[in-house]
Structure 1
Amino acid sequence: MGWIRRNLVVLAGLLALGYLLLPNLVVLAYSFNDPAGRYNYEWNEFSTDAWRDPCGIADMCTSVGLSLRIAVMATIAATVLGTLAAFALARHRFRGRGAANGLIFLPMAMPEVVMAASVGTLFLNMRIEFGVTTILIAHIMFCLSFVVVAVKARVASMDPRLEEAARDLYAGPLQTFWRVTLPLAAPGIAAGAMLSFALSLDDFVITQFNSGPSTVTFPMFVWGASQRGIPVQVNVIGSAMFFLAVALVLGGQLIGGRRKARA
């Protein structure tokens, strides 16, 4: 009992983590299933056919590729714009700063369907043809707030004396930024970028409202396939994305650990 009392917080954290990971484990398990019918809801028998041919379903891998391209482009644009906005809001005082801070939080606070409909109405009024471009713009607008919040929190916690020391050592503004400011803000920028990529990759509501008739991303493909029976290959793609995310996080932890060890 004494050991449990001392490690109660750790045990509670592990239980919460296990609860969050349980759906991913179920998806992984059913990626090895050979369903008896169209629906992969009940275990039938073990099979690796879906892993040997993950693109066996027509247009599925095409939709995955489109989702990845949009997510990468939206992440790059949102990270650059969000980082610049975060530095401006955290380091400078200007007229309208309070209003800008409020507007940044609006996309995070309002229901996603409201933002999706609003952006779609804007495109309709401007007579912009729906397609990949409209999805990309909508995703950038949605992800921008999350990047600003992540980077702004990191910038606010940075010690300004480090930049002052660099300037005392005759470093110019650009050299100070590249050698001191940017490395210190890098964890917040990376967190915002990864969050943007995840949000863009699995978004359905905003994509549905702002996509063209022939533009199908992976979440839209899954939604359409669910009406006829979701193929096992969807579980394979979901499991592969999960393992990729875990690998990126572990890789970042290892790189950070090595840098600390060298320091």
Structure 2
Amino acid sequence: MGKTRAFDVTTLPGFTFIAILAFVLLYAPIVTLVIYSFNGGNSVNQWGGFSLEWYAVAAQNEAVQDATARSLIIAVWASVISTALATMAALGTTRRGKFTGQTVIYVIINQPLMVPEIVTAVALLIFFSSVKVATGYSGLGYLILAHSAFCIPFAYLPIKARLEGMDTTMETAAADLYATPLQTFRYVTLPLLLPGVIAGAMLAFIISLDNVIITEFVKSAGQDTLPTYMLGQLRRALTPEVNAISTALLALTILILTLFVFVTKKRG
């Protein structure tokens, strides 16, 4: 009896064509946006010659500068808070045996991934609106907390994956040598877990930096981030400045995601 060949999807008729078509449909608009960010004309869809003019215009735009600074402040704080909470959650769900309610806890932690973002945004809007009325405070704290809550599962997944792949032998040895749980975590677990923590923080930073829906619902007047500023520009006279800002944001995202891949890459 002949040997049965394993099924290979790449051998199916039309696979190559469909794969190429999918990549073209996915990346052609992005490539077009990047090309037209160097457009010297005033139109977003008519080529007027190569120029870096709109990058200079965007860099000198005070509204863009304010929105960029605000986006970075929110993203940094959100990544720090969400990563700290995600690390504690990952330790609590992986460094112990099976327990009652474990599945429910997983669902609660990953809720932002499963529920439509618009639902989360409306819920945060209602909650923070009540807090604003009660306290009178309307600063960036609400956006930071909202982004932190949304980013927790994104930071949690790489940290949990790192913990599940770690050998517990060294932690057990530290306990046998009378190290306290805090000492074991500080000198053994955390150094081994650090690549996962860094990867989780990077992912949370990107998710916060690019977020539009939650920001749009939670922000107060004068608290535009870079994505919401760009959304507002789309409703006005559109210029290649938006293309330039989008390209710069895309470049930053690609850079951080590249670092994320290197950090999470398994070493021999």
Q: Is TM more than 0.5 here?
A: yes
The letter for the 2-side match of 1:27 is L
Instruction: Please tell me whether the aligned partners of residues 150 and 191 of structure 1 are also in contact (alpha carbons under 8 angstroms).
Output: yes
Equivalents in 1 of 2:262, 2:207: separation in Å?
24
The letter for the 2-side match of 1:100 is I
Alignment of 1:218 onto 2:226: yes
Instruction: Please tell me whether the aligned partners of residues 67 and 201 of structure 1 are also in contact (alpha carbons under 8 angstroms).
Output: yes
Equivalents in 2 of 1:19, 1:115: separation in Å?
29
The letter for the 1-side match of 2:54 is A
* Aligned pairs, number: 250
Instruction: Please tell me whether the aligned partners of residues 39 and 47 of structure 2 are also in contact (alpha carbons under 8 angstroms).
Output: yes
Equivalents in 1 of 2:27, 2:189: separation in Å?
36
The letter for the 2-side match of 1:116 is A
Instruction: Please tell me whether the aligned partners of residues 131 and 210 of structure 1 are also in contact (alpha carbons under 8 angstroms).
Output: no
* Pairs within 5 Å for 1:28-67: 28-37=34-43, 40-67=44-71
Shift, 1:76, TM fit:
0.6
Moved more, 227-236 or 215-224: 227-236
The letter for the 1-side match of 2:65 is C
1:87–1:255 CA distance, 2 compared to 1 (3 A): closer
Q: Deviations over 1:147-178 (max 9, x none)?
A: 22332222122221232244456655444323
1:146–1:164 CA distance, 2 compared to 1 (3 A): same
Equivalents in 1 of 2:83, 2:262: separation in Å?
23
The letter for the 2-side match of 1:230 is L
* Pairs within 5 Å for 1:40-189: 40-92=44-96, 96-126=101-131, 127=133, 128=135, 129-168=137-176, 173-189=181-197
RMSD: 3.2
Gaps of 5+ in 1: 1-5
Gaps of 5+ in 2: 1-7
Shift, 1:255, TM fit:
7.7
Moved more, 202-211 or 179-188: 179-188
Equivalents in 2 of 1:209, 1:52: separation in Å?
31
After TM superposition, the score normalised by the length of structure 1 is: 0.80
Equivalents in 2 of 1:195, 1:251: separation in Å?
10
Equivalents in 1 of 2:157, 2:165: separation in Å?
13
- The match for 1:243 among 240, 244, 251 is 251
Equivalents in 2 of 1:141, 1:223: separation in Å?
23
